[in-house]
Chain A
Amino acid sequence: MNAKQLLATDRAALILQLVPYLIGKGEVSLAEAADEFDVTVEQMRGMVEKLTVIGRPGDGGFWQMANDLFDIDWDLLDERDIIVITNTVGLERTPRLTAREAAALLAGLQLAATLPGVGESGVVQGLLAKLARGASSAPAEVIVAPGEVDEARVTIADALQRGVAVSFTYQAPDREPTTRTVDPVKVHIASGQWYLQGWCHLRQSMRTFHFERISDVRATDIPITHGGEPVPGLFEASEADAVAEVRLRASVLPLLSDFLDPSSVGGEGDERTAFLRIADERSLKRLAARHAGDIELVAPTSARHAVRTWAEAGLAQYVSSNEFPSGDAG
């Protein structure tokens, strides 16, 4: 019963937003309005139809008159799937933001403020103040700590805006450094890490670069030529990916969501099995060591062996020392 109540409240919230939206639009298709409100076309039709029985109470207990209710152009709706509101009885102005809506936007703005070319303009400061004033009650403070924006980030963002290629040294793990020239297309920030997607002149394809592995960046004066190529999702699976079978704790599943196909997860309780996809098999040892004891590489055998060798080599550095600690507690 509680869930149903919530749903009704959510639908009421949508109707309160719908009236000013329709007035602002003047004339809008069912499909466009449905898209804007994240509902299906039929749900939007239902909401609009419902609107026409909503209105002011009748005077002195009499039934409501037609002009006490919201109304729409029924012909346009029935014949052309177009919404036009023809009578309003209130709610014309857009409601204030709820505390939570304001908090969601305020936190997003803090992240946007760190982007070169977005943050410096003073636009963000003005917006923070407006949103705080436009909320119906004080939002819970949600802080997004600013990360460091170094010169590489500024150079790449600037090249992206100007539409010129950048050149830099790239050092992927376990590989020799290479010099790349890249048409920058998109800068991603995910889990606090920055990535550049762009057309790599060396590899002749769209590639993703981790900012931390980029050095010696400079903008070239070569206009970009492959900016319009399709850009895959940041962690989109590729045919070339290595696939590894792992045993892992349920608690690390969410941390690996970028690499694993949820349908491949097996087992119950805390001990699970899954298949990971990863661009470079050599990175598996790093992943397993980062989640020490929570992930076990099962196959391929070569990767399992590499994990063990990796950890043993790490340990050997301490074994050779005279002050080798005997326990976990230090």
Chain B
Amino acid sequence: MPTESNRIAPEERLVNLVVALMATEQGLTKDAILTSVSGYREQHESGASKDALEKMFERDKENLRGLGVPIDTIGDHTDPDDLREARYRVPTAEYELPGDITFSPAELAVLNLAGGVWSESSMSAEARSGLRKISALGLDVDAPIIGYAPRINLREPSFAPFQRAIEQGRVVEFDYLKAGEESPQRRRIQPLALLDYEARWHVYGFDLDQDAERTFLLSRISSEVKITRHSFDVALREGAGDKALAGLQEVAARQSALVEVAPGTEAALRLSRRGTPAEQGIRVPYVDVHIFADELASYGPEVRVVEPATLRAQVIARLRRVVARHGDADTEGCEG
């Protein structure tokens, strides 16, 4: 990949900028940066317009901040909005991993296991990048923890935009098909936390139209997630994960189904582990009526729902759909 002599690759320019801004105590002015830092200097010397160079500098700053590089702007004390004479620097203490953070060999072994849980998702690359930074500390690590292969599944494309919106404290909009409703509704929320509960991803946030906290299943989002310009106070995120978790646990605690199971079957085995014996069968807690109905339908004649009626109706509807889709047309002549 040859580059022209006066065209410096953008990644070179970005790293040169970081080096320059970390090497200065009092900060560099924009002029000093554009005329001395390699990558800008060459373009400046070959006659690029000041406007274009300044725009490039603004983009570079944003991209570096996106990488976690802190760039301070030291403005005019008398007029903080006047950035003409502003100086820029990267405070090393905020750039570098704090020197007092070290990891024991046992901690690193656990961390390596934790970093490997994300199969085939963008989070996998993030975890590896994080581990790389920590391994660059050159610390001793215990032998790998063998015998365990924990995995977190993440297939929902909406995860990444929600994560970005939570980081930046921005309101999001999306279409959501609520359980039991015919068509999706547009929702506007302040997203506060992401939650993997019973192997399903949820987003927890403050619903601006309902004026209350709500939890949404990512698999029921039927549109792209739009990150709006409206921001919210990120202090709202405090403790959101615990609240989301407590909320789902509370639903499971107060919502249960009464089912009869045929002894010795898969249904009996799986459901009795989660439930408690009742006079007429087993009481099994559940969070989402549709997800539970999917599971119960899979057991066919091994389980019969006594109550609630909504769950029973859902299971019956599913079994009917299965019968309808497996009609005789394709098996003509094969049935006696």
Residues of A within 8 A of B (CB): 5, 8-9, 11-13, 15-17, 20-21, 23-25, 36-38, 46, 50, 53-58, 61, 64, 89-91, 93-105, 107-109, 111-112, 115, 118, 121, 123-124, 126-127, 130, 133-145, 147, 157, 160-161, 171, 173-174, 177, 184-193, 212-213, 215, 234, 254, 257, 285-293, 296-298, 301, 304-305, 307-308, 310-318, 325, 327-330
Cβ of B8: which chain A residues have Cβ within 8 Å of it? 53
Cβ contact within 8 Å between B198 and A8: no
Of the A-B pairs whose beta carbons lie under 8 Å apart in the complex, a sample of 19, sorted by A's number, is A9-B63, A56-B23, A93-B99, A94-B136, A95-B97, A96-B95, A98-B67, A98-B68, A102-B130, A105-B114, A142-B163, A143-B245, A174-B266, A190-B151, A191-B153, A192-B199, A286-B298, A311-B297, A311-B300
Alpha-carbon separation in the docked complex, A307 to B325 (Å): 10
Alpha-carbon separation in the docked complex, A316 to B298 (Å): 15
Cβ of B95: which chain A residues have Cβ within 8 Å of it? 93, 95-96, 136
1/0 per residue B96-131: CB within 8 Å of A?
Answer: 111101011011001101111110000111111111
Cβ of B96: which chain A residues have Cβ within 8 Å of it? 93-96
Cβ contact within 8 Å between A111 and B133: no
Alpha-carbon separation in the docked complex, A275 to B64 (Å): 46
Q: Does B134 contact A (CB under 8 A)?
A: yes
Alpha-carbon separation in the docked complex, A196 to B56 (Å): 54
Residue of A nearest to B16 (CB): A54
Residue of B nearest to A11 (CB): B11
Stretch at the interface among B47-55, B80-88, B277-285, B307-315: B307-315
Cβ contact within 8 Å between B148 and A186: yes
Cβ contact within 8 Å between B12 and A53: yes
Cβ of B152: which chain A residues have Cβ within 8 Å of it? 107-108, 111, 144
- A188 CB contact (under 8 Å) in B125, B127, B151, B193: B151
Most buried by B among A96, A108, A109: A108
Cβ of A310: which chain B residues have Cβ within 8 Å of it? 300-301, 322
Cβ contact within 8 Å between B270 and A58: no
Residue of B nearest to A197 (CB): B149
Alpha-carbon separation in the docked complex, A25 to B51 (Å): 43
Query: Mostly helix, strand, loop or mixed at chain B's interface?
Result: helix
Residue of A nearest to B133 (CB): A94
Alpha-carbon separation in the docked complex, A236 to B238 (Å): 42
Q: Does B41 contact A (CB under 8 A)?
A: yes
Q: Does B141 contact A (CB under 8 A)?
A: no
Cβ of B150: which chain A residues have Cβ within 8 Å of it? 108, 111-112, 115, 188-189
Residue of B nearest to A286 (CB): B298
Cβ contact within 8 Å between B237 and A109: no
Cβ contact within 8 Å between B149 and A38: no
Cβ of A297: which chain B residues have Cβ within 8 Å of it? 326
15 further A-B pairs in the complex, CB-CB below 8 A; given A103-B123, A286-B266, A287-B298? A8-B14, A37-B132, A53-B12, A53-B38, A95-B68, A96-B94, A138-B167, A142-B241, A191-B153, A212-B269, A290-B295, A308-B326, A310-B301, A311-B297, A311-B326
- B116 CB contact (under 8 Å) in A108, A288, A308: A108
* B69–chain A nearest beta-carbon distance, Å: 7
Cβ contact within 8 Å between B304 and A293: no
Cβ contact within 8 Å between B114 and A318: no
Alpha-carbon separation in the docked complex, A254 to B219 (Å): 11
Cβ contact within 8 Å between B318 and A292: yes
Known contacts A17-B132, A187-B147, A191-B199; A133/B101 CB under 8 A: yes
Most buried by A among B147, B163, B237: B147
Cβ contact within 8 Å between B103 and A8: no
* B322–chain A nearest beta-carbon distance, Å: 4
